[in-house]
Amino acid sequence: MYRTRISNLRKKLVDEGFDSMLILKPENQYYLCGFDGEGFLVIGKERDIILTDFRYVEETKSKTADMEVIELKYDVTPYEKLAHELMSTGVKKIAVERQYLTLKSYEEMKRFFNEIDIISTENLVEELRTVKDETELDFIKQAQSITDKTFSHILDYIRPGVSENDIAIEIEYFMKKSGADGLAFPTIVASGPRSSLPHGKPTARKLEVGDFLTIDFGAKFNHYCSDMTRTVFLGKLDKEKERIYNIVLEAQKKALEHIKAGVPCKEVDKIAREYIEKKGFGQNFGHGLGHGVGLEVHEAPRLSPKGDGCLLPGMVVTVEPGIYVEGFGGVRIEDLVIVTNDGCINLTQSPKDIICL
């Protein structure tokens, strides 16, 4: 698995004229070789090396049998040691991750990389990560299964008088108890008028009868994420809130029906957006329809008006239209799907019909 991923990256490096690439982003390091400590990963023509400190050496050697593991010690700085290792194998041109390399790290590299050209690149590894293999899909499925199980549990916990903070804490506890490594991202819990906040952080506010309650959460399983959102109602649903909910639900349904390999990412967004606009709430849907999910909860591709490229089989994306009305509340419904040649497989099994508690 890792050999294939490294081979695919090496082909890209050769095509672009690089001797090697320095990988600093943790998700990219893990994707390429299973390394989840702290340090440098270098993929080169002749050597693939991990430079890490004493804390991670033994574990790294056991997890990454195909990699050369070099221990960083205190007698030289990390970038000085890295430069020595690269120059000893004749590296002249190295790619770096523009979106992850800090200015401080770049200055350290310039200090020691006297004979090596440092070239900024974007998304070389991230592009490889967009299409998931069967192992990745299995981990994402398990993460989503935990998330669905948690939603079913939390419905019995939700009642007037319970705070947003209480709900967020219970979600994290139950997911970990159910086998999750942890949260895929900080849980969003927004109730009442606060449900108009797309990324409302949980507060001490206590639920009241008549509230919309939006919960956006996900589990992490073997480093891979899930992501789902549901909006429920406390008490008897009034007609306007029911109307808004059904608009969001229908917009999502239309988008899901349009998803398949070969469809432009921005076109899927357009399907849902135009429906919401037609119903008079275009100005209340201010974010993209969805995004890729994998080692990160937000990754390529982007389903948005500016989304580049087309969907490919094996991509995992969210579909999450929403309507947010300041002072009134909001609704978002989010599912996680696998793109296929003739449609998509919905991994989210939690109900989407209006739930009144």
Question: By C-alpha distance, which of 179, 306, 220, 290 is closest to 27?
Answer: 220
**Which stretch of 76-85, 162-171, 224-233, 346-355 has the lowest confidence by average pLDDT?**
76-85
- Is the pLDDT at 269 greater than 80, yes or no? yes
The answer to whether residues 162 and 206 touch, using CB atoms and an 8 Å cutoff, is: yes
**Which stretch of 95-109, 171-185, 265-279, 291-305 has the lowest confidence by average pLDDT?**
95-109
- Is the pLDDT at 37 greater than 80, yes or no? yes
Residue 193 token pair: 């008028």
Mean of pLDDT values over 155-162: 98
**Model confidence over 48-62: pLDDT tens digits?**
999 999 999 999 999
Under CATH, which number does the domain 131-346 receive? 3.90.230.10
- Is the pLDDT at 65 greater than 80, yes or no? no
**Cβ neighbour number for residue 52 with a 10 Å cutoff:** 22
Q: Is 212 exposed, middle or buried (0-12, 13-18, 19+ CB in 10 A)?
A: buried
- Is the pLDDT at 105 greater than 80, yes or no? yes
Residue 1: pLDDT band with limits 50, 70, 90 = confident
How far apart are alpha carbons 324 and 276 in whole angstroms?
12
- Is the pLDDT at 74 greater than 80, yes or no? yes
In DSSP notation, 102-116 reads: -HHHHHHHHHH-TTS
**Does this chain's domain 1-128 share its CATH topology with 131-346?**
no
For domain 1-128, the question of CATH label 3.40.350.10 is answered with yes
- Is the pLDDT at 164 greater than 90, yes or no? yes
Encoded amino acid at 18, one letter: F
Domain assignments of the chain as residue spans, ordered by start:
1-128, 131-346
Give the DSSP letter of residue 236: S
Residue 6: pLDDT band with limits 50, 70, 90 = very high
The answer to whether residues 53 and 72 touch, using CB atoms and an 8 Å cutoff, is: yes
Cα 242–Cα 243–Cα 246 angle in degrees, nearest 5: 85
- Is the pLDDT at 89 greater than 90, yes or no? no
- Is the pLDDT at 292 greater than 90, yes or no? yes
Mean of pLDDT values over 103-125: 94
Contacts of 223 (CB under 8 A, 6+ apart): 30, 36, 139, 181, 295
Element (H, E) at 335: strand 335-340
How far apart are alpha carbons 351 and 347 in whole angstroms?
12
